[in-house]
Structure 1
Amino acid sequence: MLHSAGPLLSVDLSAHETDTEDVSDVLESFIGGRGVGTKLVHDRVPFDADPLGAENRLVFTTGPMQASQMSFTGRMNATAVSPLTDGLLSSNAGGFMSRHFADTGYSAVEFTGESDELVAVHVRDDGVEFEAVPDLAGATVSETCDYLEAEHDLESDHVAAIGPAGENQVRFASIMTTEERAFGRGGLGAVLGAKNVKAVTFDGDSAPDIDIPSSQMEIHREAATDDNIMKEQGTVAVMDLANAMDGLPSYYFSERSFEGVEGINGSAVADKKYKKGTCSACAFACKLPTRDEERGVETEGPEFEVAMAFGSNSGVDDIVDVMKSNQLCDDYGLDAISAGNTIAAYLAANDEFGNRELIWDLVEKIAERDGVGDDLAEGIGRVHEDLGVENWSVKNMDFAAHEGRILHGQALSYAVANRGADHMYATFYSVEYPLVGDDQAMDNVGFEGKPERLAEREDLMALNDSGVVCKFSRDYMTPERYEMLFGADFEDLLDVGARTVTLERHFNNQRGFDASDDRLPYEDELEGLEDAIAQYYEVRGWDDDGTVPESALPA
């Protein structure tokens, strides 16, 4: 089976020391990326570790496909105990850093302990440097990247940085790379902030020699030549469809369609796109560099989730306003989905929907933990009672844009996902809109056949995150192509994903998670949900209370 190569680098921030360790057995069993990160955190972090404490470990990993030049492979993974969900969580980022990471020669790099001073850590194939950077305290992501380029001749695609939000341990702070790409959901930026790490850089010329089958180029050619609306509109292309289905969360989830949708939909974003955008080696080029010269706004995106959170869910119908919100989140180092949804909760509590100036002020206040921003920085799951609004989160992860009250399989996914109400854990929405062929599509209403299909999709997404292969490769990565690229039977590859999901669930069980956490705020509206959750546990081989029996743990 194709897998990553190279040792684990452990970076002890308390002692400013490093060590390497052979983890070939983990690589052979879990391929790379999320699978390897999950196994390492599961086995090396105490089950009762404080997410913002020295015992938590943050692990960067990439996968064997980063040795290729195939489209959909410019991504990498970060794993730790999440300050937002309090469970084991992996976050995935695109951009250009994955190949610089691979060039260091390490298969995984973990950060342990906590530094007694603010540092930038430079990971190279010839050693690790700890640089004290007190002058970067409070710096934005762009300011940090400017410093690293000026002082170290390292452009932003070598850099994983946090902004003020990470330093101030906002529970949904991001780690940013290439300035505008995010390890977004789950607050891993706060983990780096708690460890007093402002930035990590990766550089070298020691990428391991991993033989990738030539079939990669067939996929690359198709990605380059196929006509796909995502190349023009990104994920926001689905907004009109969601709105037409009465499935676009609006006004803090109180409504499901938005009268101002034309101001923030795919066409509105495409009108502001000024060049192509992509990730490393990818010819699909679905990214969205956008600009409004009149108002001086330039960013990348927004994608659908952010256009919902800062758009329809906040009562904003101007794409440039949403672009500015997105720009601010990137520079302060905030997950724009959670920031937008949390601000929407505040707008609902104070009857301020559509107040763009207030929204931008709240983004800054959250990042700085200033005034009301200090409360909002805790996220919806922890602040909703104080605001007097409904708790639109699962396991403290607020909801993505794909509406579970319309897409019932996606609702099931939100309920049981180890990561909470995140759309990318299984991407079940894609089979219910549908965004796939008729042979893969399912009716959006009801739960028949969906528990089994959900487990399979979770396993496939975990496989992609271990590879690492972008999830938007869905039209190109057939089971036969997985087998050719990874040199293993497709069912064996899915088993890697299944073992990854099971380890996540087991770790979270040891922290107190069980079936009582697999709940939705609208579950009474979905007949058959409870039975579907029970069937899902049965498919997984888990106990009725949503816990993993010892007999189901992977070796």
Structure 2
Amino acid sequence: MLHATGPLLTVDVGKRTADETAIDEVLEKTIGGRATATALAHERIPFDADPFGPENRAYLSTGPLQQSQMSFTGRMNMTGLSPLTDGLVSTNAGGYLSRNFVATGYSVLEIAGQSDELLAVHVTDDGVEFEEVPELEGATVPETSDYVENQHDLGPEHCIAIGPAGENRVRFASVMTFDSRAFGRGGLGAVLGSKNVKCVTFDGDVEPPLEIPNPPKSDIHREAATSDDRMRRQGTTGGTEFINDNFSLPTRYFREYEFEGAADIGGNAVEEKKYKKGACSACAYACKLPTRDEASGVETEGPEFETVYSFGSQHGVDDIVDVMRANELCDTLGMDTISAGVTVAAYLESEDEFGNAELAQEITEKIARREGVGDTLAEGVARCHDDLGVENYTVKGMEFAAHDGRVLHGQGLSYAVANRGADHMYASMLSLEYAGQLDPEGTLGKAETLVDRENHNAFRDTGIVCAFGDDYVTEERLESLFDTDYEDLMLVGARTVELERHFNNQRGFDRDDDGVPYDLPDIEDAIPEYYDARGWSEEGIVSDARLESVTGTALSDD
């Protein structure tokens, strides 16, 4: 079975040491990406770790397909203990980082410890250099990229960085690459901030040893290049009006189910501002959205649908330029646009200030710098909703993505039980419900489908394949690429979900943490149905014995 190659590089930023560990046996079993990082995190992060403590670790990992030049593979995974959810979280980002990471010869970077000084860490195929960078304190992501380029002749495609939000431990701070691509959900930017790591660069000349089967590699690339999907022109915003008109676009902090200004911030509005094509590394699909407003001078990459929701409909804002400004502000400051936008929406609800885009942007900046009320909001909705006097629209501490579980009940069930919380990418039941392949009404009888979707997405983040490539990187092609049966790949995904769940169980997560803050039909019966499909206890617990039987992972006696 195809898998990533190369050792684990452990960088302890407190001790200023770098050590290599051969992990061939782990890679053979887990392939790469999210599965490998999850296995390492489960083994090496103490179950009682403080997300902001030196014992937490952050993993940046690549899959075998990043050692190719195939479309839909310009992505990497990041895993760690989330300061937002207090559980294990994985997130991935596109851009151009992956090939530069692979060129250093490593399969996984592990960042451990805690530095007393603000650091830039430089990883090459010749070793690791630690550079104290006090002059970057408070710097934005683009300012950090400029420093790296000026001082080290490396562009933003060689770099991961945090902005002021990460340094100030905003619980939903992102790790950014290529300035505008985010390892977004779960607050791993705050984890790097707690370790005093401002940026990490990657540069090398190691030739990838893997040979990726061709076809299907060339077939996928050709189909990506010739596709006429609306996604290529409008990104995920292309479905804004369809979702608003036929399902739900949460509006004004979940008060309403549709937004009267959806057309003004949807796909056509975004496409009108798009001034060139954009892509991720080696991808012919080119679905990115470099946008510019000539009148105001606002320029950004995006917004995608989730940002149109979080800074548009949720705020009652119907000017696409205002949403573009908010998108660029979050990228510059290093924050997840979903959690940031929903948290600001909660504040606007408390102040009865919906529609005030200027205030929303002012509060966004205050959050990143923890100034005034921003210090409270930087904790996220789950921790500040009582202070604001608003409903707690989160699951496991994570703010909701746009796809409304109050209407898409399968997606609502997914939010309820997902290890990651209210994130739409964990299982993406929404795609089946939008397409009419799954009745959006009801939660019962959907457990097996949900398990399949979770396993598929966990493997997709392991390979690593972009979510937009699902129609092109089919089951049959995955079997050819990875030289194994599709069922074997899904088993890798299932083991990853089990490890995440077991880790979270050890931190106290159980049945009480699975649910949503609104009524769903038969949810009290659907959750046990999901547990049964997974083989978990009635309390949603993965026993040590089950963990060992399913994943081969035995707990140490220490």
Shorter chain as denominator, the TM-score bin is over 0.9
* Aligned residue number for residue 531 of structure 2: 537
Q: Is it true that 1:467 corresponds to 2:463 in the alignment?
A: yes
The answer to whether residue 195 in structure 2 is matched with residue 199 in structure 1 is no
Partner of 1:37: 37
Q: What does residue 138 of structure 1 align with? A: 138
Aligned to 1:128: 128
Q: Which residue of 1 aligns with 2:448?
A: 452
Tell me: CA distance 1:517–1:277, structure 2 relative to 1, closer, same or farther (3 Å): same
Q: CA deviation at 1:549?
A: 1.6
4+ runs of 1 displaced by more than 2 Å? none
What residue number does 1:527 align with?
521
Inter-partner Cα distance in structure 2 for 1:161 and 1:334: 11
Deviation at 1:181, TM superposition (A): 0.2
Question: Could you tell me which residue of structure 1 aligns to residue 7 of structure 2?
Answer: 7
CA contact (8 A) 1:263 1:319 kept: yes
Aligned equivalents of 1:475, 1:268: Cα separation in 2: 26
Question: What corresponds to 1:187 in structure 2?
Answer: 187
Shift of 1:346: 0.2
Secondary structure of residue in 1 paired with 2:425: helix
- 2:72 is the counterpart of 1:72: yes
Q: Which amino acid aligns with 1:270?
A: E
Alignment of 1:171-182 (within 5 A): 171-182=171-182
Indicate if the aligned counterparts of 2:528 and 2:538 stay in contact, CA closer than 8 A.
yes
Correspondence list, 1:471-482, <5 A? 471-482=467-478
Structure 2 counterparts to residues 102-501 of structure 1, below 5 A = 102-214=102-214, 215-434=216-435, 441-501=437-497
| Aligned residue identity for 2:389 | G
* TM-score of the pair, normalised by structure 1: 0.98
Does 2:500 correspond to 1:504?
A: yes
Q: Structure 2: which 5+ residue stretches go unaligned?
A: 553-558
Is residue 245–residue 406 contact of structure 1 (8 Å, CA) maintained in 2?
no
Please report the TM-score for the alignment, with normalisation by the length of structure 2: 0.97
Mapped to 2, the partners of 1:79 and 1:490 lie a distance apart of 24
Which amino acid is 2:289 matched to? L
What amino acid does structure 1 have at the position aligned with 2:475?
P
Per-residue CA distance 1:413-455 (angstroms, 9 max, x = gap):
1001100000011111110001xxx7xx111112353110111
Amino acid at match of 1:357: E
Report the residue type matching 2:40 in the other structure: L
Structure 2 CA distance, aligned partners of 1:28 and 1:15?
31
1:181-202: CA deviation from partner (whole Å, max 9, x where unpaired): 0000000000000000000001
Amino acid at match of 1:387: L
Gaps of 5+ in 1: none
CA separation in 2, counterparts of 1:180 and 1:21?
A: 32
Question: Aligned in 2, Cα 1:123/1:416: closer, same or farther, shift over 3 Å?
Answer: same
Q: Distance in 1 between matches of 2:80 and 2:481?
A: 28
| 1:548 aligns to 2:542 (yes or no) | yes
Q: Distance in 1 between matches of 2:509 and 2:12?
A: 29
Matched length: 548
Write out per-residue CA displacement over residues 316-369 of structure 1, whole angstroms, 9 at most, x where no aligned residue: 000000000000000000111111000000000000001111111111100000
| 1:457 alignment partner, SS class | helix
Shift of 1:69: 1.1
Q: Distance in 1 between matches of 2:489 and 2:537?
A: 24
Kept after mapping to 1: 8 A contact 2:316/2:354: yes
Alpha-carbon distance, 1:508 to partner: 0.3
Match of 1:84? 84
Amino acid at match of 1:105: G
The 8 Å contact of residues 6 and 208 in structure 1, kept in 2 or not, is answered as no
Task: Tell whether the 8 Å contact from 1:290 to 1:301 is kept in structure 2 after alignment.
Answer: yes
Please tell me whether residue 514 in structure 1 is matched to residue 515 in structure 2. no
* Per-residue deviation, 1:220: 0.9
Does the Cα contact within 8 Å between 2:34 and 2:461 map onto a contact in 1?
Answer: yes
| CA deviations over 1:489-537 (Å, ceiling 9, x no partner) | 1101100000000000000000000111111011x2x211221111111
Spell out the pairing of 1:41-56 with structure 2 (5 A cutoff). Answer: 41-56=41-56
| Cα distance in 1 for residues equivalent to 2:443 and 2:133 | 53
1:306 alignment partner, SS class: helix
